């Protein structure tokens, strides 16, 4: 398994206009670039600097991370469900790589 696979915990069904909780966690060292390894060499900087959540391509939440965010960034946020569709999540890393995940959402008005 890819060690950087993001983990997302959120409902797959919700009522219209329900506020859902989205819990995300991704494995990443969030290297600040200030740390030294055992031989005294600086460990190069490698951080997730930007996170964005979109619903059907429209931004609903985004976050800028600096060095003060812990390794394995854990983030809980909320969203009001506006319809059935797909939530996509992107974590942008300093080396320009992007970790992507998506979760479908269905409307259940019972």
Provide φ and ψ at 88, rounded to 5°. -115, 145
Query: For residues 57 and 21, what is the distance between their CA atoms, to the nearest angstrom?
Result: 19
Which of 5-13, 56-64, 92-100, 102-110 is the region at the interface with other proteins (rule: CB under 8 A)? 56-64
| DSSP single-letter state for residue 12 | S
Tokens of 41: 């060499």
By CB under 8 A, is residue 61 in contact with other proteins? yes
Residue selected from 16, 43, 102, 104 as contacting other proteins according to rule CB under 8 A = 43
Residue selected from 8, 13, 45, 63 as contacting other proteins according to rule CB under 8 A = 63
By CB under 8 A, is residue 80 in contact with other proteins? yes
């Amino acid at each position: 398994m890819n060690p950087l696979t993001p983990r997302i915990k959120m409902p797959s069904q919700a009522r219209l206009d329900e506020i859902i909780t989205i819990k995300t966690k991704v494995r990443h060292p969030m290297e600040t670039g200030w740390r030294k390894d055992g031989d005294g060499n600086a460990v190069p900087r490698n951080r997730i600097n930007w996170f964005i959540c979109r619903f059907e391509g429209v931004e609903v939440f985004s976050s800028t991370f600096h060095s003060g965010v812990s390794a394995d960034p854990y983030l809980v946020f909320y969203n009001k469900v506006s319809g059935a569709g797909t939530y996509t999540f992107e974590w942008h890393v300093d080396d320009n790589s992007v970790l992507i995940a998506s979760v479908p959402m269905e409307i259940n008005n019972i």
